[in-house]
């Protein structure tokens, strides 16, 4: 059976960091294609338009920072949390053991703030709201369950491709030096979906 990958906020060219057999994408401005692999949706207010357990992996390159954290409900009487809802959706469409790969600008780098459409500020500790053992976002309606495989600061070209974790002592030293000098603008999240196998 072919493996499938979904790229969130894909623009005209979806990315496939895990090199799955089939590539799908969803974007607010995307023109839907004839075979249903590219779909149009505003993920700040809508569900991911695929069924449960559809993908072995999902990616989000320079996307999470555009998803609002708080919005009023449609009737104006309550509050909803679109980013938490989106993380629930990512977990829902991933198969058991499926992977999320995300790259986003991270505080305190100026890249977080310079784009006026960045409304969701991510830090090196934001992942604890969605990952074991804390899952702190559960108090706000997060029902998913992720295990953090990697949370890593990196340079800005992380949005271009899959960045592997530093494997050698030299790579780790170079990364530590870039972090110390404030040269790492992006944060990589690599999460595994924890859910029962069906």
- Give the single-character DSSP code of 111: H
Q: Are 16 and 5 in contact (CB under 8 A)?
A: yes
Which helix (H) or strand (E) is 80 found in, with range?
strand 79-80
Q: Cα torsion at 121, 144, 56, 46 (round to 10°)?
A: -60
What per-residue confidence (pLDDT) applies to 180? 82
- How would residue 181 be classed by pLDDT, with cut points 50, 70 and 90? confident
- How would residue 158 be classed by pLDDT, with cut points 50, 70 and 90? low
The domain made up of 4-193 has a fold known as Rossmann fold (3.40.50)
* Domain locations in the chain as residue ranges: 4-193
Mean pLDDT confidence for 158-176: 78
Would the pTM of this model clear 0.85, i.e. be above it? yes
Q: Are 6 and 38 in contact (CB under 8 A)?
A: no
Q: What is the pLDDT of residues 39-75, one digit of tens each?
A: 999 999 999 999 999 999 999 999 999 999 999 998 9
What per-residue confidence (pLDDT) applies to 30? 76
Q: Are 177 and 78 in contact (CB under 8 A)?
A: no
Q: What is the pLDDT of residues 90-109, one digit of tens each?
A: 999 999 999 999 999 999 88
Q: What is the pLDDT of residues 122-141, one digit of tens each?
A: 999 999 999 999 999 999 99
What per-residue confidence (pLDDT) applies to 159? 54
What per-residue confidence (pLDDT) applies to 52? 97
For the cut 90, the answer to whether the pLDDT of residue 18 exceeds it is yes
């Amino acid at each position: 059976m072919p493996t499938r990958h979904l790229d969130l906020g894909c623009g005209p060219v979806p990315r496939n960091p895990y090199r799955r057999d089939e590539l799908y994408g969803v974007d607010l401005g995307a023109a839907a294609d004839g075979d249903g692999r590219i779909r149009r949706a505003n993920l700040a207010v809508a569900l991911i338009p695929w069924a449960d357990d559809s993908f072995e992996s999902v990616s989000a390159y320079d996307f999470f920072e555009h998803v609002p954290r708080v919005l009023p409900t449609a009737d104006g009487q309550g509050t909803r949390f679109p980013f938490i809802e989106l993380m629930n959706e990512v977990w829902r469409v991933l198969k058991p053991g499926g992977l999320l790969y995300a790259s986003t600008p991270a505080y305190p780098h100026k890249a977080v703030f310079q784009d006026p459409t960045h409304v969701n500020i991510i830090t090196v500790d934001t992942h604890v709201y969605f990952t074991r053992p804390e899952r702190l976002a559960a108090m706000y309606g997060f029902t998913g369950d992720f295990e953090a495989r990697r949370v890593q600061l990196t340079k800005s070209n992380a949005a271009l491709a899959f960045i592997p974790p530093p494997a050698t002592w030299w790579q780790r030293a170079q990364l530590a030096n870039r972090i110390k000098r404030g040269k790492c603008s992006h944060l990589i999240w690599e999460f595994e979906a924890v859910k029962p196998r069906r």
